[in-house]
Chain A
Amino acid sequence: MIEQRVVAPEYLFNEAEREEQFITGSEAVREAIKRANVDMAISYPITPQSESMHLVGDIYAEGYIKEYFRGENEFAVMSSVAGAAMGGVRVFTATGGPGTLRAFEAFPTWAGARLPVVCAFMTRGINSPLSIQPDTLEMAYMLDTGIIMLHAENSQDLYDMILQAFMIAEKPDVHIPVGVFVDGFFITHTRDRVKIAPPDLKLPPYNPYSAPVPVMDMENPPIRQMRDPFVMKSNFISYAAHASWQQEILAAAERSRRHIAHYLGNLLEAENETAPVMIVASGTAVSQSREAIESARQEGLDVGLVKLKSLRPFPTEELKAMTANAKAVIVPEFNRVGWLAREVRAALEAKVKVVGGPRVFGGMTMPPDLILDEIRRCANE
């Protein structure tokens, strides 16, 4: 283990001289966690996530993390992570696909308990017949769990977003979980150039008393995560208590906007945003779109790109602004249901034509030609 010193997050993210390495997405997770000053990580195998948590286990063995173990299933892991976070420490775990769904009940309880857990989701197919291949369908289900959702386009994003996620999650006015989503295999299992900070630097430790709810350490009793009236009483006070608490979780996510903007630059990135045809995408669909746009420009077509980095909270106003001149918006996705197209349609309120697709799923890569076809169609209408 390399002796590390604590530096300001802004220094680690923006100022420290970075070294470029040619590494896999899983290795990018290891490099992020190595610098994240994590107290505990808990693992459970599922393809394509497993390797990242092997590597996190390796750095635990080297001394970078205080505690690590393999749990018995994803529901148990997410519950143990919750227990650790209630105890007032910084925790990390990762899962994907069926693991996300096995653990699903835990995610709203994380948000409801104001736990600043950071979890990486390496997405994959979840339907029967069984598939382990890339697919972002699980993100559709995660949209309304109350957690903040960031979507990485590449390994660089994955490395940066994991580190930034801890800082966003732990802000006292936020203090809800952050999920960093990444398209399994496409990122986790391929090598890419990633610029990383020196290994002797790490984030400041988590301050348990930054929590807006009492820490479960018996230093300030009587506390409890929930009191009886929330649960069973059929009266107005109980309804009001539960309703206001749910609103507070949503408000916490809203308050995260400025912190996301501070650390990530913005909730989205745009280029050539005055173009009449815009592509709006997240994850690796952004990279495929970049290739299609390159071809389109060679054909003389004017097309722009919006890369969504934060899906919860959703950058509605920013997206409206970036598509103000568009006559058509194309939303390519790696899933069958088109959850991102639904989000974009809702945000743009029918003021612009939204093309839901192309969509590929079941593990297929997205030929840029499919996106190019849509660009040509929209440009010629």
Chain B
Amino acid sequence: MSIKVIKPTAAFASLLPTEYLELVADGPYASPKTINDLGTFKEIIAEHPHCAGCGVALGVRLTVASLPAPADTLIVGTAGCSFFGLAQAALNYSCSAFGNQNAVASGLKRMLKIRYPDTDKDVVVLVGDGGIADIGLDLTLHSWFRREKIATIMVDNEVYGNTGGQESGMTQEGQVLNMAPKGKNFAKIPVFELARVSGCVYGARVTVASPKKIGRVVRKAILLAREVGPTYVQIYTPCPTNFKFPPQQTINIAKKAEEGYYSFQEFISDDAQAYWEKNFASSTM
């Protein structure tokens, strides 16, 4: 990136929200940031429209703070709670139709590689569970089969939050939600396992209770996607609004899940492991 950050026209600057001006002035462009730097730069507008205690908002913040090259990162999202936060972040972000994120990212990544052969432009898909596991599953899997060099990140709140709390494919079996009035009658879709057998060279499953782990696996997923192949990170991001728990319990719920059915898991292909050891073995992250 050339740091040609769009500058608000001076005459109109006073009309823009202060927070937007801060995003332009203090966004994470000048140097890569890590989870440890949170609070020292402006990664997202504080007045974002997520609910109190939103796990997705936290997942988005932690992901955005983990990018190895924010100044050259493009985020592709889709409709849902995830894009509330993304639309307020200091990043190139696009959203077109529901569920088409990995197809958009495929075209974008290939063309940026042609336009900028000597610069790493990281294309990162950051989407909710409905967008990946349900409506966009075929496009997600096909981007992995084609070995598109994209990092795909799911913020999994196990529900369609934005549309009012409906069952998604990632909802746990038995859970009662809208459109599942008698409880969901099949298991969580095994997207993490599908990633492994569909061409992803690296995968990680984490929760928002472990921010440093998120920092490590997101960075790794993006760096490996640059050179080796598609990668996948699945982050559990509990939803207090639709699962009716107090907002201050989000981290505890995630922690409990991490001790149980949402345990930390990671896989890496031999190629990716060799590449990582050769290039990043001395890395502190």
Contact = CB atoms under 8 A, between A and B. Distances in A.
B110 A79 contact: no
B56 to A, nearest CB: 14
Interface stretch (B90-98, B218-226, B250-258, B263-271): B90-98
Contacts of B89: 222
A85 B106 CA distance: 11
Contacts of A80: 103-104, 106-107
Contacts of B83: 231
B114 A216 contact: no
Interface residues of A, number: 46
Given A76-B100, A83-B103, A86-B94, A220 B111 contact: no
Contact of B74 (A39, A216, A231): A216
A330 interface: no
Given A109-B96, A225-B96, A228-B49, A218 B73 contact: yes
B153 interface: no
B92 A106 contact: no
B111 A106 contact: no
Nearest to B20: A222
Contacts of A83: 76, 94, 103-109, 111
A227 B2 CA distance: 23
Interface stretch (A6-14, A66-74, A183-191, A367-375): A66-74
B72 interface: yes
A242 interface: no
A109 B97 CA distance: 7
Interface string A82-119: 11111111010000000000000110010001000000
B111 A72 contact: no
Contacts of B121: 217-218
A42 B106 CA distance: 11
Contacts of A314: none
B115 to A, nearest CB: 6
A224 B93 contact: yes
Contacts of A91: 107
A72 B139 contact: yes
A129 interface: no
Contacts of A217: 74, 92, 112, 115-116, 121
B146 interface: yes
A220 B2 CA distance: 7
Given A88-B115, A217-B115, A222-B6, A228 B87 contact: yes
Nearest to A227: B87
B24 interface: yes
A225 B76 CA distance: 10
Interface in A27-50: 39-40, 42
B134 interface: no
A218 B100 contact: no
Contacts of A219: 1-2, 4
A89 B76 contact: no
A232 interface: yes
B27 A222 contact: yes
The size bracket of the interface on B is: 35 or more
Nearest to B110: A67
A130 interface: no
Contact of B96 (A40, A67, A106): A106
Given A232-B49, A232-B84, A216 B107 contact: no
A89 B5 contact: no
A91 B103 CA distance: 14
A300 interface: no
Nearest to A81: B107
A225 B75 CA distance: 11
A25 interface: no
Given A89-B114, A218-B121, A224-B87, A76 B4 contact: no
B189 to A, nearest CB: 18
A85 B111 CA distance: 8
A59 to B, nearest CB: 17
Interface string B105-143: 111111110111000010000000000000000110010
Interface in B54-78: 71-74, 76
A350 interface: no
Contact of A221 (B1, B109, B146): B1
A89 B142 contact: no
B97 A222 contact: no
B88 interface: yes
B165 to A, nearest CB: 16
B95 A225 contact: yes
26 contacts: A67-B110, A67-B111, A69-B146, A71-B142, A72-B103, A73-B138, A76-B139, A79-B97, A79-B103, A80-B106, A87-B112, A89-B111, A91-B107, A105-B97, A109-B96, A109-B97, A217-B74, A217-B112, A218-B72, A219-B4, A220-B6, A221-B6, A222-B89, A225-B95, A228-B84, A231-B87
The 9 A-B pairs with the shortest beta carbon distances in the complex, nearest first, are: A83-B107, A84-B107, A87-B111, A79-B100, A79-B103, A80-B107, A83-B104, A83-B108, A72-B142
Given A82-B104, A106-B100, A222-B92, 14 more contacts: A69-B146, A79-B104, A83-B109, A86-B108, A217-B115, A219-B2, A220-B4, A220-B5, A221-B90, A221-B91, A224-B87, A225-B93, A228-B87, A228-B88
